[in-house]
Amino acid sequence: MRKYFLLLAFIAIVDQVQAQSQSDALAQYNKQRLQITRVGMLTLGGWALANMGTSGILLSQNSGSRYYFHQMNVFWNVVNLGLAGFGYYNAATSDPASFSLAESIQEQNNIEKLLLFNAGLDVAYLVGGFYLSERSRRDSPQSERWKGYGQSLLLQGGFLLVFDAVLYTVLHQASPELSSLLSSVQLTPVGIGFTYRLGI
């Protein structure tokens, strides 16, 4: 009887250690994901501030298409700065240990889908930029405006396409850790649990 008690106690201890190990691995994964997101939002915010500062100064020093180019840069990056601030705040105030495995998977899927959707929008911005640049070649009172706005869209859309592609790639490369955790989940007769394989 004592042997069975010791065996059950040993199993309980191993189960507790295993659960703690899985929890630590999940928290570490979420910590890494949130850190990548923070760096991404700082990059976007830095780009926005640099554009707003530079174009804000040059706006009053230029005329014609260059004036409209800098005007659009300022308008565009007010939005970028707001998005970057919101994204950074969410990532900075999230507790890595508060996400369950299901929530972690959902968060990973959501951000990857969002970045892919944004990349599609970035391509649309580039197409819009080419369209406005082409339209500016027609004889029109708005030619200078279309040219400046078109050049700005090409610059901003090009940057955002590279930004979204890089951020997606970096976050996606971190996702195998999540898959590894998911592969340790198995159905048992009494519910769902983690499996632990001894390296013997």
Could you state, in order of their start, the residue ranges of all structural domains in the chain?
2-194
Q: What is the pLDDT of residue 115?
A: 94
Q: Decide if 29 contacts 174 (C-beta within 8 A).
A: yes
**Going residue by residue through the chain (200 aa), what tens digit of pLDDT does each one get?**
655 554 444 444 444 444 455 677 888 888 988 999 999 999 999 999 999 999 999 998 988 899 999 999 999 999 999 999 999 999 999 998 888 888 888 888 899 999 999 999 999 999 999 999 999 888 778 899 999 999 999 999 999 999 999 999 998 887 666 555 555 544 445 444 444 443 43
Bridge-based pairing of strands 191-194 and 185-188 is antiparallel
pLDDT at 187: 44
Q: Which residues of 96-131 are buried (b: 16+ CB within 10 A; e: fewer)?
A: beebebeebbebbeebeeebeebbeebeebbeebee
186 beta partners: 193
- The predicted structure's pLDDT at residue 180: 58
For the residues of 48-112, what is the DSSP string, one character each? HHHHHHHHHHHHTT--HHHHHHHHHHHHHHHHHHHHHHHHHHHHHH--GGG--HHHHHHHHHHHH
Q: Count of H helices and E strands in the chain?
A: 5, 2
What is the predicted pLDDT for the residue at 195? 46
Is the Cβ–Cβ distance between 181 and 101 less than 8 Å? yes
Partners of 194 in the β-ladder:
185
Q: What local confidence, expressed as pLDDT, does residue 102 receive?
A: 83
Fill in the amino acid letter for 174: A
